[in-house]
Amino acid sequence: MIWDDTTYGKFLLLIGGLGGLLYGIDFGVIAVSMPYIKALEIYTDAQVSWIVGGVMFGGILASATAGVLCERFGRKRTIVLSAALFLAAVPVVCFSGTSLVTMLTGRVLQGMSAGYMAVVMPLYLAECLPAETRGKGTGIFQLFLGIGLVSAAAVGILVAKVFGAADAAAEVVPAAAKSLAWRVNFWWTVLPVGVLLAGSLFLKESPVWLEKRAGKSRARTTGVPVKPEDGTRAPASLLSASSTLLQRRYVVPFLLTLLVLTFNKTIGMSSIIAYAVTLFQKAGLSGSLGNAGDLALKATNLIVTLVAVGLVDRKGRTWLLKVGTAGVTVGLAAIGALFFALERGWMTPSPVSGFVTLAAFLAMQTFYSLGPGICVWLILSELMPSRIRANGIAIALFANQFTAWGLASSFFPMVNAWGYGPVFFGFAASGVLYFLTVLFIPETKGKSLEEIERLFDSEAKKAV
């Protein structure tokens, strides 16, 4: 297919958006499905946490291999693989019956799909978009991620109205209806992901990857080794990448990216997204009000992300991150205080307490979407030098997904042991560390990837 530059640029942003949509749906669908699965009492609380955490575990597996796949087979083929894995996962989940192993297999496949997409799409957009639009372009990924979360929440409300609320008594909503309800929440997702898969077949390959391939081809033809600084030789695995990452010029940008990606999960956002309906019901919003709270949370994310897309290339990455992480920390502490009061009996769960708690969640979500939500993907793709970009992103996301998996899989055991209040206080403590890390991140607004790389090179030379 022949494209002019303007048309292809729009198509590129659409596919980038659909990649974010897949990622958002991947995490949003379980929030509206999990209350039904839990109500059926097929699995224990611990097993339900495993099901929620299955996506994060799949993300760990994907992150361990994404860098290799991106370098060996290209960015385009990895995007195609990601969409195909999601489509394969949905029927596995829906036909799992009462088999925990089958359910977990499907969830892990979904997680691998999301994990590959989280690595390859920001990488692909950063390599294909010019510096002046890279912030907005990469922001499209986060914007559509928000649309995916809202879509999952909206369908969840519709499903609850058609089949009944998950927490309704068995006499009101029978088990068969609840069993069908959570499956409907999964089945509809094959449509947008199918569009992504079809569209990704028409993508052009990343010029950076093509240049690397051309460099390797020249080396094989002429017998002259390609210099590492040319950016045309990539590590064959995460293990070999680690020795490269230890070079002084790469250590600082890699560690900053690693810390940002890790703290982005230790503040608990993945658990909040996955357990949103349950959290609101715990706070006093029973029945469909819990689903409405979930939709409000994700709609707030979407609206604020729209604002952030317009600000990221004007105010800069670090300004948004500082404001965002500070606000998130205060919000998490407020949520912790509310749950602590409920658990100590100082407040009685009611619609009033539920709406107050929801307000705290919405405030926290506003700051997250303004800063970390949109900037984390830019930090991920911009700070990594070209020599280590694919594998460096994969390693950072490995830590990100491993942290998310650990928190989501142990969420119910943690709150059962310590209470919701202390768990959210722990998330807030991570927010403080996140804010302190942001203070060391240089501004990358308006700079090309080569200029950002030279910035760290000069800092490394000063340290010698």
pLDDT at 244: 55
In the chain, which stretches have pLDDT less than 70? 1-5, 131-138, 215-249, 386, 388, 390, 449, 455-464
Q: Is 284 left (phi over 0), alpha (psi -120 to 50) or beta?
A: left
pLDDT digits (tens, 9 = 90+) for 135-192: 666 677 778 888 888 888 889 889 988 888 887 888 888 889 999 999 999 999 999 9
Rounded Cα distance between 38 and 178, Å, is 10
Rounded Cα distance between 289 and 277, Å, is 9
CB contact at 8 A, 325 and 369: no
pLDDT at 229: 42
Rounded Cα distance between 58 and 110, Å, is 7
**CATH code given to domain 12-197+248-463:** 1.20.1250.20
388: closest CA among 238, 171, 177, 264? 238
CA-to-CA dists, residue 13 to 122, 200, 276, 430, angstroms: 11, 12, 30, 33
What ranges in 312-448 are assigned the alpha helix state H? Answer: 317-343, 351-370, 372-382, 389-409, 411-418, 420-438
**What's CA 357's distance to the chain center, in Å?**
24
CB contact at 8 A, 232 and 226: yes
End-to-end Cα, the chain, rounded Å: 51
Both tokens of 422, joined, read 């202390």
Taking the domains of the chain in order of start, what are their residue ranges? Answer: 12-197+248-463
pLDDT at 358: 95
pLDDT at 436: 95
pLDDT at 218: 55
CB contact at 8 A, 208 and 34: no
Rounded Cα distance between 328 and 267, Å, is 8
